[in-house]
């Protein structure tokens, strides 16, 4: 199963993971700037932000499969263990 050719959907998923990895790496800075807002990340950067998710996600139209859409919380992120 792993040997098969990469499909467009799998390529899209790879890009999604890259965008999420970028968010994870830059989270502290992103949280300072965008706390309590919805953001969209594409191509390794924040392409839109808004307090309303329906507004923020317009910039992801057509590229939903690779976009990270997230509400950025304020405050410390818990580390349970």
Partner 1 sequence: MAKFPFRSMRDWIDFLKEQGQLIENKEEVDLRGEVAAISRKIALNSGPAVLHTAVKGYPGWRIFSDGLTTRQRAAWALGVSSEGIVTNLANRMTRLEKQKPVLVKDGPCKELRFFGDQVDLIKLPIAFTGEYDIPPFITAGISNIRDPETGWQNTGIRRFQLKGKSHLNNLVLPFQHEGIIYGKYIKKSQSAPIAIVIGADPLYNLISLMPAPDQVDEMDTWGAFAGTPLEVVKCETSDLLVPATAEIVIEGEMDPKERALEGPFSEFTGFYSGLRMLPVIHVKCVTMRRDCIYQNMYMAVPTSEAHNMGHLMNEVELLRQIKEFVPEVKDVAILSSWGMMTAISVDKKAKARKPGLVNKIAVTVKTVKASPFVKNVIVVDDDVDAHNVHEILWCMSVKFQGQKDILVIPDFPGTIFDPSEPYLGKGPGVTSYTVFDCTEKPPPYDEAYKRGVAQPKENYRKLVEEKWGLYGF
CB of 28 to partner 1, least distance (A): 10
Question: Is residue 62 packed enough to be buried (19+ CB in 10 Å), middle (13-18) or exposed (0-12)?
Answer: exposed
Give me the residue label for tokens 């923020």.
Answer: 56
Q: Which residue, 42, 31, 47, is CA-closest to 68?
A: 42
What's the closest the beta carbon of residue 57 comes to partner 1, in angstroms? 9
Q: At closest approach, how far in Å is the CB of 66 from partner 1?
A: 10
The footprint of partner 1 (CB under 8 A) covers: 1-2, 4, 7-10, 12-14, 16-17, 20-21, 23-24, 27, 64-65, 67-71, 73, 77-81
């Amino acid at each position: 199963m792993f040997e098969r050719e990469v499909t467009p959907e799998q390529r899209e998923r790879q890009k999604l993971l890259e965008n999420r990895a970028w968010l994870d790496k830059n989270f502290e800075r992103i949280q300072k700037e965008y706390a309590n807002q919805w953001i969209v990340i594409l191509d390794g950067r924040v392409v839109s932000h808004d307090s309303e998710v329906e507004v923020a996600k317009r910039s992801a139209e057509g590229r939903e499969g690779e976009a990270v859409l997230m509400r950025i919380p304020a405050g410390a992120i818990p580390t349970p263990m």
